[in-house]
Amino acid sequence: MSAAADADPAERAARVKAHARQCGFDLVGVAPPELPDAWERYRDAMAAGYGADMDWLQADPDMRRDVRRVHPSARSVIVLGVSYADEAPGYLASPPADDEGYIARYARGKDYHAHVRQMLVRLVRRFAEDPALGFRSTEHRVFVDTGPVLEKAYAQRAGLGWIGKNSLLIHRPRGSWFFLAVVLTPLELAFDAPEVDHCGSCRRCLDACPTAAFPAPYVLDARRCIAHWTIESADPVAAMDPELLGQHVFGCDICQEVCPWNRRAEPTAQVPLRARPDNVRPKLVELEGLDEAAFKARFPKSAVRRTDGRRLGAVARTIRQRNARAGRTVAER
């Protein structure tokens, strides 16, 4: 009998977690393939229009009901977290000047899709090399925010944290500055206990949102969200309210900045994910003037390339023109 056959699900899960930590993942847990309650909440949110114009969220919703619809041989979902916390100033702690823009913390370093996927590839290779696990690397499927998987729901079920009132996964005590990734695996693993809600009566994220994008606790309406306006919208100028936009040119961190669980977040150990200095407080006039070639050169291997030069420039121009109409200048600050 093989070592893989001898190992019980708890022993296999322990080995999986040890490999994950050795590959640099900060969080790791295991969940079952099906989460019917989470799927129903997702379905209801899409039916209410909260997915805005992000068609990929609404296409074939049944695919998100059970990961075995994506990977039929999956017996377990390994959920992993990689911190992107850094020590760069936040929007509220150090407001940008009127000639500066704000880029969300997650997009200030290297594009997480590529970096975390590289970590996942190393991880499944380690699984394949471990005789106590015994599956080829090609028998696992990996996703980094790229597939029809409800990552946050699986992360909560795997014990990595709970989904907070700002709709983000929150880990105790490391907060919410995490990228999530999953491995759909044929390994039969022991499942972790789900995390429970620790938000209590706190509603700081709801009250701090400048656009009132939360119609209820735990529910985000993307149509009102600055991140959607500046990242996902095909026509950000038409989608957004300039008076509520602040200095945000790409994304928004306010609902995370005010969260008490983020007070003790440790900076990421992943150097490529740390903020590039020129992405912390970029000048609006610089961003406004980028053509597509200059945009790609300015943001190499960056999650900012989720948008393009035209859209980023339009957002920067809108902010600068709004400030000019209001008579706001750097000299007057």
- Any bridge partners for residue 248, and if so which? 102
User: Is 66 noted as a catalytic residue in this protein?
Assistant: no
* Residue 40 near residue 102, CB atoms below 8 Å: no
* Residue 186 near residue 73, CB atoms below 8 Å: yes
Longest dimension (CA), the chain: 78
* Residue 289 near residue 101, CB atoms below 8 Å: no
The total of other beta-carbon atoms located within 10 Å of residue 284's CB is: 24
User: Which entry of 53, 145, 192, 308 is annotated as an active-site residue?
Assistant: 145
* Residue 2 near residue 134, CB atoms below 8 Å: yes
* Residue 178 near residue 171, CB atoms below 8 Å: yes
Q: In angstroms, rounded to a whole number, what is the distance separating the alpha carbons of residues 81 and 61?
A: 24
- Any bridge partners for residue 274, and if so which? none
User: 141 — alpha (psi -120 to 50), left (phi > 0) or beta?
Assistant: beta
Measured over the CA atoms of residue 37, residue 34, residue 141 and residue 46, the dihedral's sign is negative
Phi first, then psi: give them for residue 167, nearest 5 degrees.
75, 10
Closest CA to 257 of 88, 116, 100: 88
Q: In angstroms, rounded to a whole number, what is the distance separating the alpha carbons of residues 41 and 62?
A: 13
**Which residues are the active-site residues?**
145
